[in-house]
Amino acid sequence: MKLQIFQVDAFTSKLFGGNPAAVVPLADWLSDELMLDIAAENNLSETAFFVPENGRYSIRWFTPAIEVDLCGHAPLATSHVIFNELKLETEQINFHSDRSGSLGVVKDGERLVLDFPLYPMKEIKQVAGLAEAVGAKPKQSWEAQGNMVFMLLDSEVQIKALQPDMSLLAKIPYDEVIVTAKGETSDFVSRMFAPRIGIPEDPVTGAIHCSLIPYWARELGKTELFARQVSKRGGELFCQHAGDRVKIGGQAVTYFKGEIFVEENFQNAIRS
């Protein structure tokens, strides 16, 4: 079996920046096992699979270890492929995820704008062992989206200097650990670590901004914000707090496109 594959750098205007995602267009769904095998073989933070269904695109995404509920950079990369490589749509895309509902994407010049649900954060007490694992004591801590813990730190400089202990982080009872602070050349900055789900550090993470945007909009008293994820690759996110939704804009660049080949004995893994 032969499948198309694209690799796209998302939330960046230049190659080798932002967050790389693989995108695999499908006519029909593959088995969960086969999609996870492909994601593990790609060894990127996410591989997205999509299928046209009922006038929209059903979408799922996998880390090298698990399927995740919500992702930002993979839908951005998928939209880039649909708009620019496959020429299937012109200005708007409607995605559906069984895990996170309706997700819209609109083309705005060179920028793609994601329309995502807002997920508020709930303040919590300091998580045992978290400060030691991250290498910094938080000013405040929150949890959101079921499996994320957020830490407010003093500055962008402090966040950039962090060198977390991944073995300790993997023992923290949250899949994703996010640090954030007010930015120097942006409204706010962040980094995200997730060794429990096969991602030591995610270069740019759209999904965490579903919770960061409402927090920083309230703190800064504005609804439109510019954010940076200050990983080594770095990423830029143009954000808007829009009621019970958030808008997350960014650019994307195709790195490669090609084909992958799955052994014949996997054919029976395809859903009928």
Residues catalogued as catalytic: 46
d(CA 80, CA 42): 19
* 3 state DSSP class of 68: coil
Residue 225 structure tokens: 């914000």
Do the Cβ atoms of 121 and 148 come closer than 8 Å? no
**Backbone angles phi and psi of 93, in degrees to 5:** -130, 135
Q: CA angle, 234 as apex, 181 and 115 as ends, to 5°? A: 75
| DSSP E strands, the chain | 2-10, 19-25, 46-53, 56-62, 92-97, 101-108, 111-117, 122-124, 140-144, 148-152, 176-182, 188-194, 199-202, 224-229, 235-242, 245-250, 252-261
For residue 146, what is the enclosing H or E element? none
Do the Cβ atoms of 35 and 42 come closer than 8 Å? no
Residue carrying the six token digits 């914000």: 225
